[in-house]
C-alpha cells in the first residue's frame, strides 16, 4: 500500500485516503450482500465500529500526511509505534496486560526498526537542523498522532472480534466511514489528478483491503500483545519492494535492523508458543 501511495505523487492526502478505501467498499459491500446475514451487525457493536472507524481514519490520514511532508522512513517509524499504543490501549479497553517477555520483544523490534529507517526528525528535534528544516517537526508530530490512533483502532478491532462481529462488516464499516469523512475535505482541497495517479491509488486500495482482512483475522485470533511485534515485518517487505521497484538498496544499518526485527519476531513466536517455558 505504501509503495503505491508513494507512486501516486502529489495528490491531496484526503483524496488518497478516499480512493484507497473506495476499493475496499467495492469488495466488501457485494460480499455482505451475498452473505446470509446481509448487512446486519451484532447487537452492541455500533459504538465499537464507530470508534474503530474514527481512530482508523485519523491514523490513515495522519500517516499519509506524514509520508507527503517528511522522509517516508520517518513516517514509517512513527506509524510503527502503533503496536506500543495497541498494547497500552488494550490495558484500558480489554484488560489485557502484556508480560515482561512480550514488552521485551516489542522494544527490541522497535530498536531494529530505528536501525532500518534511521529517522532524521530526531536530529531536527535535538539539533534544530535536518534535511527538511525546522518545519519537519509539525508533520512528525502528526505522524506520531497517527501511530496513537492506529494502535487504538487495532484495539477496538480486537474488541469487536471478541464480540463475534464479522470481519467483512468491520472492514466495510471502516471503509464507508472513512470515505464519507474525507468527502468534505476533498471538496475543500480539490485539484485535478492524472489517470495514472488514480490507478496507483486503486492498487493501494487493493493492497490495503487484503491487509485489512488479514490483520482483522490476526487480531481476532489472539491478543494484541502476542501479535503486534509481527507488524514490524512491514519494514522487511518495504525494503524488498524498494529494491524491486524503486532501485533502493539497504545499507549496513538497515541489514542490522532486519536481523534484529527477525530475531525479535522469532523470540516472540517461540515464547508465545511455549517453546521457551517448557521444562526439560
If you write DSSP's letter for every residue of 238-255 in order, what string do you get?
HHHHHHHHS-----HHHH
Neighbour-count burial of 102, counting CB atoms closer than 10 A to its CB (0-12 exposed, 13-18 middle, 19+ buried):
buried
Which range has the worst mean pLDDT, 20-34, 60-74, 151-165?
60-74
Q: What is the pLDDT of residue 253?
A: 74
Q: What is the pLDDT of residue 69?
A: 73
Instruction: Supply angle C-alpha 173, 80, 60, rounded to 5.
Output: 30
**Pairwise pLDDT comparison (47 vs 277), residue with the higher score:** 47
Give dist(CA 216, CA 212) in Å, integer. Answer: 6
Q: What is the pLDDT of residues 257-275, one digit of tens each?
A: 778 877 887 787 777 767 7
Residues 72 and 132 sit within 8 Å (Cβ to Cβ): no
Buried b (16+ CB within 10 A) or exposed e, 55-90: bbbbbbbbbbbbbbbbbbbbbbbbbbbbbbbbbbbb
Give dist(CA 32, CA 166) in Å, integer. Answer: 10
Where residue 14 falls among pLDDT bands split at 50, 70, 90? very high
Residue carrying C-alpha cell 514509517: 76
Amino acid at each position: 500500500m505504501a509503495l503505491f501511495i508513494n507512486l501516486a505523487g502529489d495528490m491531496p492526502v484526503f483524496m488518497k485516503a478516499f480512493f484507497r478505501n473506495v476499493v475496499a467498499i467495492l469488495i466488501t459491500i457485494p460480499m455482505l450482500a451475498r452473505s446470509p446475514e446481509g448487512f446486519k451487525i451484532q447487537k452492541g457493536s455500533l459504538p465499537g465500529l464507530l470508534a474503530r472507524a474514527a481512530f482508523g481514519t485519523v491514523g490513515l490520514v495522519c500517516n499519509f500526511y506524514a509520508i507527503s511532508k517528511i522522509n517516508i522512513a520517518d513516517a514509517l517509524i512513527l506509524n510503527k509505534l502503533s503496536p506500543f499504543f495497541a498494547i497500552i490501549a488494550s490495558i484500558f479497553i480489554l484488560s489485557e496486560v502484556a508480560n515482561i517477555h512480550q514488552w521485551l520483544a516489542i522494544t527490541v523490534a522497535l530498536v531494529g526498526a530505528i536501525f532500518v529507517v534511521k529517522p532524521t526528525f530526531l536530529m531536527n528535534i535535538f539539533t534544530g537542523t535536518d534535511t527538511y528544516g525546522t518545519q519537519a517537526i509539525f508533520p512528525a508530530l502528526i505522524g506520531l498522532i497517527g501511530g496513537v490512533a492506529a494502535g487504538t483502532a487495532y484495539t477496538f478491532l480486537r474488541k469487536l472480534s471478541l464480540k463475534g462481529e464479522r470481519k467483512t462488516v468491520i472492514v466495510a464499516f471502516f471503509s464507508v466511514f472513512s470515505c464519507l469523512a474525507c468527502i468534505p475535505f476533498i471538496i475543500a482541497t480539490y485539484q485535478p489528478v492524472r489517470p495514472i495517479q488514480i490507478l496507483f491509488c486503486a492498487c493501494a486500495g487493493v493492497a490495503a483491503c487484503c491487509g485489512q482482512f488479514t490483520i482483522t483475522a490476526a487480531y481476532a485470533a489472539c491478543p494484541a500483545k502476542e501479535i503486534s511485534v509481527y507488524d514490524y515485518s512491514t519494514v522487511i517487505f518495504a525494503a524488498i519492494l524498494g529494491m524491486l521497484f524503486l532501485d533502493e538498496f539497504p545499507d549496513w544499518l538497515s541489514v542490522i535492523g532486519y536481523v534484529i526485527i527477525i530475531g525479535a519476531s522469532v523470540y516472540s513466536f517461540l515464547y508465545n508458543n511455549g517453546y521457551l517455558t517448557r521444562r526439560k
